[in-house]
Structure 1
Amino acid sequence: MDDFSALLGGFQVALSWHNVGFMIVGVLLGIVVGVLPGLGGPNGVAILLPLTFGMDPTSAIILLSSIYWGALFGGAITSILFNIPGEAWSVATTFDGYPMAQEGRAGEALTAAFTASFIGAISGVLLITFVAPLVAKFALRFGPAEFFAVFLLTFCSFIGMGKDNRIKILVSLCIGFLLAGVGMDTISGDLRMTFDVAELMRGFDFLVVVIGLFGVSEIFLTVEEGLAFKGKKAAIDLKVVLRTWAGLPRYWATLIRSSIVGMWMGVTPGGAIAASFMGYGLAKRFSKRGDNFGKGEIEGVLAPETAAHAAGTAALLPMLALGIPGSATAAVLLGGLMIWGLQPGPMLFVEQKDFVWGLIASMYLGNVAGLLIVLATVPLFAAIMRIPFAIVAPIILVVCAIGAYTVGNSIFDIWLMLLFGVVGYVFKKLGFPLAPMVLALVLGDRAEDAFRQALLGSGGSLNVFWANGLVTTLVVLSAILLFWGPLSDLIGWAKGRGKSSGGASPSAAR
C-alpha cells in the first residue's frame, strides 16, 4: 500500500507541466535518434546527457528516459520502411516488416510494431514497479562483501552468458577496468596511471568515453559504409490503426510469451538483441503460420518488438535496485545519476523516494506519449531518412564535441572523445562488444572499493567472501555463470564430434 501511494505521488511529480513538456521533447528527440542508423538508444542518451546539466534530477532523468523510449519506437520505422535496422534489436523486425511494406501494408506493420513495443515496455515497467522495491529492501542487508559479490556476479554473467566471443568480452572488460583505475585512488589517495598528465588526475570521465565509444564511432562506421536511404512511403490513418488493433487479440499468446522472454533477458545479460531473436524464433515455432514467417507475417513483427522493448525496459530494474546496469543504455543512465549526485541502489528507494517513483510513473506516461506521438508523426520522421548523411554526420559530430566539452570545459576532453571514437570504431570492426567495457568503466572502481573495504573489515582475510549464506551463494553463482558458457560449448562440441564419429562408422565398415 505504501508503494502504491508512492506511485500515485510519482504520477503527481511526472504530470507537472514542465515534466510533461520534457517528456514530449524527449520522445521526439528519441524518435530522431532511433530513426538515424548512425545513433541509437545508448548513443543518443550519451550525446544528449549534457543537456541535463543544471536541471532538476527528476526532470533530467524523465527527459533522458523519454529519449530512450522514443529511440525504441523509432528503430521500427527504418526497419519496416527502409529495411535498415535503426537499432541492433530491430534486425528481427525487418524479416517480416519490410515484406509487409513491399506489399503495401506499411501502415499495418508500423501500427503492429508500435503497439507491440508499447505492450513490451509496459510489461517491463510493471516488473520494475512490483519487483524493484522488493529487491531494494532485500539489498539493504548488503555489506561491502555482498556488494562485491553482486558486482562479481554481473561481470561473470557477462562472460559466461554473453552471446559474443567470450575472449573478446573478457578483453573488453579488462580494458574497462584499466580505464576505471586511472586517476586518484579513492581509498589511499594515491595517483594511478596518470603519467604526469594533469588532466588525467580526475580519471577518464564516463560521459566523454561513452560519447566517443558510441556516438563518434557510429558516425565513422556509417560514413565508411556510405549509407544511401531509399525506402517505402507510409501514412497511418485511424482506420488502419483500429483495424490492426482489432486483430491483435488473436495473438495474445505471442504477446505474453514475448513479454516474459523480454523481461527475463532484460534483467539478465542476454539483452534486447537476444530477446528479439528469441521472441521471433519462439513465435515461428509455435505459430500456426510459421511457414509464412519472413514473407510478411504480422506475428513476425509483434514478437521481436514486444520482446526487445520488454528487455530494454526491464534492464533498468537492476540499475535502480542494485546500482548495476542491465544494458548499455542503463549504464549511461547510471552515469547520469552519479553525475547528479544520486547513488543508484537500495538506498535510492529510501533516501530519494520521490525521485524513484516519479521516474517509474514517467515510464508509464512516456510510453503512452511515445505511442501516440509516433503514430501521428511517421511520415515526418521517415522523411528525415531522406536527408543526405553528409549533412547529418557533421551536425552529430558537433553535438558530440559540445557535449564532451561541457563536462569539464576542457579541449582535452574533445581529443579524448575522438580517441575513444577511434577505439570504438576499431572494436566494432573487430567484433569486440562495447557494453562490457562500459559496464567495467562504470562499476570497476565501485567493485574495487567494495573488495578493499571488505578486506579491511576482515583484517585481510578472504574468508569474508564466504562468511555467510548470502555472500557464499552469490560467489558460487558467479563461478557457475562464469564457467556455464564454456562448459556448454564443450559439451556441444563433444556431442557434435560423437555424432560425426557415429555417422562415419558405417561407411568405414563398408
Structure 2
Amino acid sequence: MENLASLIAGFELALSWHNVAFMIIGVLLGIVVGVLPGLGGPNGVAILLPLTFGMDPTSAIILLSSIYWGALFGGAITSILFNIPGEAWSVATTFDGYPMAVQGRAGEALTAAFTASFIGALAGVVLITFVAPLVAQFALRFGPAEFFAVFLLTFCSFIGMGRENKAKIIVTLALGFLLAAVGMDTISGDLRMTFGVTELMRGFDFLVVVIGLFGVSEILLTVEEGLHFKGKRAGIDLKVVLRTWTALPRYWGTLLRSSLVGMWMGVTPGGAIAASFMGYGLARRFSRNGAKFGKGEMEGVLAPETAAHAAGTSALLPMLALGIPGSATAAVLLGGLMIWGLQPGPLLFVEQKDFVWGLIASMYLGNIAGLIIVLATVPLFAAVMRVPFALVAPIILIICAIGAYTISNSIFDIWLMLIFGIVGYVFKKLDYPLAPLVLALVLGDRAEDAARQALIGSEGDLGVFFSNGLVGTLMVLAFVLLLWSPMIEGLSWLRRRLLASRPSEAHN
C-alpha cells in the first residue's frame, strides 16, 4: 500500500503541464532517434544529456527516459518497412515484420509491433514498481560466472531450438564469435586479428555490420531481380488497428512468455538484444505456426518486440536500486543522475523518494504517450511503402552510409558496411541465417570476458560454473536447450519403435 501511495504522488508530479510537454517532446525525438540507423537510444540520450544540466532533475530524467521510450518504439519502423533495424534489438523484428510489409500488411505489422512494445514496457514498469527490493537483492548474486551462464543459455537456445540447418547456424555463430574477437582484448590489452589496420583496433561495430547485412544486402537482392522496383501499398486506418488488437488475445501465451523472458534478461542483465532473439526463438518453437515463421507471421513480430521492450525497461531497475546500469542507456542515465547530485542505489528510494516515484510514474505515462503517438503516425510511415523503390533505394543507401559514418566519424566504417552488405547478400543466396551471426557478434566478447573473469577468480577451476544453485541451474538449462532437438527426435524414434513392436507382440 505504501508503494501505491508513493506512486499516486509520483503521478501528481509527473502530470504537471511542463513535465507532460517534456514527455511528448522526448517521445517524438526518440522516434526519430530510433528510426535513424546508427544513432540509437543510448547515443540519442547521450547527445541530449548536456541540454538537461540546467533543468530540474525530475523534468530532465522524464525528458531523457521519454527519448528512450520513443527510441524503443521507433526502432521497429525501419525494420518492418525497409528491413533495416533502426535499433540493435529490432533485428529479430525484421524476420517476420518485413515479409508482412512486402505482403501489403505493413500497417498490421507496425500496429502489432507498437502494441507489443507497449505491453513489454508496461510489464517492465510494473516489475520496477512492485518487485524492486526483491529483484535488487537477487541481482546482487550475479557474478562473472552467472553472466556467462546467461549468455551461454542464449546461444544454446538459438542452436537447439532453431528450425534452420544446425550446421549453418553453428557456422554463422562461429563467424560472429570470430568478428567479436577482433580488436583490443579488454582483459589483457593485447591486439587481436587487426593485421596492422589501425581502424580495427576498436573492433567491428555492431551497427555497421547490421546496416550492411540487412540494409545493403536487401538493396543488392532487389537489384538482382532486374531493377523492377515497385511501390508496396500499405492500407492503414483505424479498422486495421482495431482488427490487429482483436487478434492479439489469441497470442496471450506468447506475450506473457516474452514478457517474462524480457524481464529476466533485463534484470540479470542479459540485455534487450538477447531477449529479442530468445523471445523469437521460443515463440517459433512453441507456436502452432512455427513453420511459417520468417514468412510474415504476426507472432514473429509480437514475440521479439515484447521481450526486447520488457528487457529494456527492466534494465532500469538495477540502475535505480543498485547503481548498476543494466544497459547502455541506463549507463548514460546513471551518469546524468550523478551529475545532478543524485546517487543511485537503495538509499535513493529513501532520500529522493519524490524523484524516484515521479520517474516511475512518468514511465507509465511515457509508455502510453508513446503508443498513442506512434499509432497516430502509422499512416505516415506506412505511406512510405507507396513510394517506388527506385526512388527510395538511393535514399536508403545514403541514410545507411550516414548512419555508418556517424558511429565513429570514419570513412572506413562505410567500406565495412559495403563489405558486410556483400556478405549478407551471399549468405541470403546460400540460405545461411544471419541472426546467429548478429547474436554472436553482439554478445561474443561479453561472454568471453565473463568466462575469463570467472576462471581467473577460480584459478582455472571449471567448477566455478556449477559452484552454486543459480549458475548451475542456468548451465544445465543451457545444455538442455542445446540438446532439445536431438532429445525430441530421440523420443519420437523411441515412440515409433514401441508402436511398431506392439502389433508383433500381440500376434505372438
Q: 1:279 to 1:136 in 2, by over 3 A?
A: farther
Matched, 1:218 2:218: yes
CA contact (8 A) 2:120 2:259 kept: yes
The separation in 1 between residues aligned to 2:358 and 2:168, in whole angstroms, is 38
The separation in 2 between residues aligned to 1:440 and 1:21, in whole angstroms, is 36
Matches within 5 A, 1:15-414: 15=19, 17-27=21-31, 46=38, 54-56=47-49, 62-63=66-67, 65-70=69-74, 72=76, 87-90=94-97, 120-131=116-127, 133=132, 134-225=134-225, 226-231=228-233, 233=235, 235-236=237-238, 254=250, 256-257=252-253, 259-263=255-259, 269-272=277-280, 275=283, 309-316=305-312, 364-365=364-365, 367-373=367-373, 375-377=375-377, 379-414=379-414
Farther off after superposition, 426-435 or 137-146 = 426-435
CA contact (8 A) 2:97 2:109 kept: no
Q: 1:76 to 1:7 in 2, by over 3 A?
A: farther
TM superposition shift of 1:72: 4.6
Q: 1:384 to 1:373 in 2, by over 3 A?
A: same
CA contact (8 A) 2:95 2:300 kept: no
CA contact (8 A) 2:187 2:449 kept: yes
The separation in 1 between residues aligned to 2:110 and 2:417, in whole angstroms, is 34
Alignment-derived partner of residue 297 in structure 1: none
Alignment-derived partner of residue 81 in structure 1: none
TM superposition shift of 1:320: 6.0
- The one-letter amino acid paired with 1:155 is F
Render the CA deviation track for 1:361-402: whole Å, top value 9, x for unaligned: 676445534543455455544432221212211112112212
Q: 1:392 to 1:53 in 2, by over 3 A?
A: farther
TM superposition shift of 1:196: 1.4
SS at match of 1:372: helix
SS at match of 1:228: coil
SS at match of 1:54: helix
Render the CA deviation track for 1:60-104: whole Å, top value 9, x for unaligned: 6744642442465798899xxxxxxx9433489799x97xx9xxx
Alignment-derived partner of residue 418 in structure 2: 418
Render the CA deviation track for 1:24-49: whole Å, top value 9, x for unaligned: 2444786xx6xxxxxxxxxx554656
CA contact (8 A) 1:151 1:443 kept: yes
Alignment-derived partner of residue 431 in structure 1: 431
Alignment-derived partner of residue 104 in structure 1: none
Q: 1:223 to 1:338 in 2, by over 3 A?
A: farther
The separation in 1 between residues aligned to 2:318 and 2:486, in whole angstroms, is 27
- What RMSD, in angstroms, separates the aligned Cα atoms of the two structures? 5.0
- The one-letter amino acid paired with 2:170 is L
Question: What TM-score comes out, normalization by structure 1 length?
Answer: 0.67
Q: 1:420 to 1:319 in 2, by over 3 A?
A: farther
TM superposition shift of 1:212: 1.9
Q: 1:185 to 1:8 in 2, by over 3 A?
A: farther
Render the CA deviation track for 1:145-200: whole Å, top value 9, x for unaligned: 22222222222222222333322222222112111111111222211111111211
Alignment-derived partner of residue 87 in structure 2: none
TM superposition shift of 1:416: 0.9
The separation in 2 between residues aligned to 1:359 and 1:441, in whole angstroms, is 34
Q: 1:17 to 1:94 in 2, by over 3 A?
A: closer
Fraction of identical pairs, as percent: 48
Q: 1:146 to 1:374 in 2, by over 3 A?
A: closer
SS at match of 1:314: helix
CA contact (8 A) 1:280 1:304 kept: no
The separation in 1 between residues aligned to 2:284 and 2:461, in whole angstroms, is 45
The count of corresponding residues between Structure 1 and Structure 2 is: 441
TM superposition shift of 1:248: 7.4
CA contact (8 A) 2:109 2:301 kept: yes
TM superposition shift of 1:307: 5.6
Render the CA deviation track for 1:470-498: whole Å, top value 9, x for unaligned: 22222222221211123223433565688
Gap runs ≥5 in structure 1: 34-43, 79-85, 102-108, 283-299, 324-332
The separation in 1 between residues aligned to 2:364 and 2:437, in whole angstroms, is 31
CA contact (8 A) 1:255 1:302 kept: no
The separation in 1 between residues aligned to 2:346 and 2:409, in whole angstroms, is 34
The separation in 1 between residues aligned to 2:333 and 2:427, in whole angstroms, is 30
Q: 1:456 to 1:376 in 2, by over 3 A?
A: closer
Q: 1:496 to 1:421 in 2, by over 3 A?
A: farther
Alignment-derived partner of residue 57 in structure 2: none
Question: What TM-score comes out, normalization by structure 2 length?
Answer: 0.68
The separation in 1 between residues aligned to 2:308 and 2:467, in whole angstroms, is 35
Matches within 5 A, 1:431-470: 431-470=431-470
- The one-letter amino acid paired with 2:24 is V
- The one-letter amino acid paired with 2:70 is S
